[in-house]
Amino acid sequence: MTSNISVVPVTTKKQHKQFIMLPWKIYKDEPHWVPQLIIDQKMLINTKKKPFYEHSDLALFLAYKDNEVVGRIGAIINHIHEEIYHEGVGHFGFFEAVNDKKVAAALFDAAAEWLKAKGKKIMRGPANPSVWDTNGLLIDAFDLDPVILTPYNPHYYIELFKAYGLKKVRDWYAYWMTNKQKFNPKVERVANALKKRKKITIRNADLKKVKKELKQKVKEEMGLFKLVFNEAWEANWEYVPLTEHEIDFLAKELLPIADEELILFAFVDGELAGFSLTIPDFNLALKKINGRLLPFGIFKLLAHAKKINRVRTLAMGIRPKYRNMGIDAIFYHETYERGTKKGYTEGEFSLVVEDNYNMRNILENIGTKAYKTFRMYDKKL
């Protein structure tokens, strides 16, 4: 309890609705915010249906001031994270609040006390609810709309975090490129030479095959994805492997919006070496329907989906034995060529953690520019 501010656990159906709908209040005058589908936001905190919660715990809190909802936060414990790192880290996420440091402090206190009671020593975030969803606090480029599956927040959140004593632990970068920028011809020549010399072949995913096999539970194409997915990110900061159930769930979420020509597999001498996942930026369409598919949102969404000219490369993985062969440069070149031919005019490559110097160097070499920064914070409990 802080003055007339109260923070309570979310337990009722009414409180869950208030938790979900708070962003529409926070961002009502923010032209760059993109309302996400309400049905998807419900799934993010659905501990019975989202596979992440098969190995994680979630506590949600709402802040009230004079009986009005003024903030929210979630506290998360990922038990696989603890099994890997043994750091005593718990996470916070889903943070939204009015511009009031007392409200923010009360919310952070509620999450911290819950995590501390569970034996955690560090509170880290924001993660909503994990690094495989949206994560990090936007700390620049507030005059730009967010690209699909990346966060957006008011500028004043930086001060709310700072005032509470949260400290930077890592930054993530987003890189930008348009079709007006020529792909670095030197990198293009190297990529083409490597394909021939190393016997590297690229093919895109067959989504018709994937959809059919998911239904029949054969999942041959998904098997390629799974083979690379966890193996490729093992050395990355905050890496936590996805379970098979999580990967299947992720595939089912992405398939409806995916462009099969931009989901690429690389093979060396016929053996799977890596994959690259690029999807159309459906935020351009979502901005038109205010989070609701019904009654007419679905028609607006479909109409605007045809006009999407932006993509995001949101994942790229190369198996350890095939690294340093230039496959990442080949993926970027192939994506650029395929994307421009299909009429996409701009794209984001994200998120890249600040100490992944290899990927950052390659992105800068092909002609992209770092244009957004997302920060993860820690606080000792």
Query: Would you write out the chain's pLDDT as a tens digit for each of its 381 residues?
Result: 446 999 999 999 999 999 999 999 999 999 999 999 999 999 999 999 999 999 999 999 999 999 999 999 999 999 999 999 999 999 999 999 999 999 999 999 999 999 999 999 999 999 999 988 999 999 999 999 999 999 999 999 999 999 999 999 999 999 999 998 888 898 889 888 988 888 899 999 877 666 665 555 445 667 777 778 778 877 788 888 888 899 888 888 888 888 989 999 999 999 999 999 999 999 999 998 888 875 556 667 777 778 999 999 999 999 999 988 999 999 999 999 999 999 999 999 999 999 999 999 999 999 999 999 999 999 999
Q: pLDDT tens for residues 9-58?
A: 999 999 999 999 999 999 999 999 999 999 999 999 999 999 999 999 99
Q: Does residue 294 form part of some domain?
A: yes
Residues 128, 216, single domain; the answer is: no
Domain, as residue range, for 335: 177-374
Q: Does residue 131 form part of some domain?
A: yes
Q: Which residues contact 215 (CB under 8 A, 6 or more apart)?
A: none
Q: Does residue 380 form part of some domain?
A: no
Q: Does residue 381 form part of some domain?
A: no
Residues 189, 122, single domain; the answer is: no
Q: Does residue 313 form part of some domain?
A: yes
CATH of the domain at 256: 3.40.630.30
Show which of 171, 193, 217 is a domain's final residue: 171
- Give the pairing of strands 346-353 and 310-318: parallel
Residues 155, 182, single domain; the answer is: no
DSSP 116-161: HHTT-SEEEE-EESSTTSEESEE-S-TTSPPPTT-----TTHHHHH
Which residue in 310, 340, 327 sits closest to 276, CA to CA?
327
Residues 23, 153, single domain; the answer is: yes
Other CB atoms within 10 A of residue 3 CB: 8
Q: How far apart are CA 332 and CA 177, in angstroms?
A: 11
Residues 229, 118, single domain; the answer is: no
Neighbouring C-alpha atoms within 13 Å toward the C-beta of 265: 20
Run of H or E residues at 93: strand 89-97
Q: Does residue 213 form part of some domain?
A: yes
Show which of 136, 156, 171 is a domain's final residue: 171
In angstroms and rounded to an integer, the radius of gyration of the C-alpha atoms of the chain is 21
Residues 135, 254, single domain; the answer is: no
Q: Does residue 16 form part of some domain?
A: yes
Show which of 171, 205, 237 is a domain's final residue: 171
Write down the pTM of the prediction.
0.93
CA dihedral 172, 178, 181, 185 (to 10 degrees): 70
Q: How far apart are CA 152 and CA 303, in angstroms?
A: 25
Other CB atoms within 10 A of residue 133 CB: 15
The pLDDT, as a whole number, for residue 257 is 85
Q: How far apart are CA 358 and CA 361, in angstroms?
A: 5
Q: Does residue 379 form part of some domain?
A: no
Residues 218, 157, single domain; the answer is: no
Number of domains in the chain: 2
Run of H or E residues at 315: strand 310-318
Residues 225, 366, single domain; the answer is: yes
The pLDDT, as a whole number, for residue 217 is 41
Q: How far apart are CA 64 and CA 213, in angstroms?
A: 48
Which residue in 240, 243, 236, 112 sits closest to 172, CA to CA?
236
Q: How far apart are CA 108 and CA 114, in angstroms?
A: 10
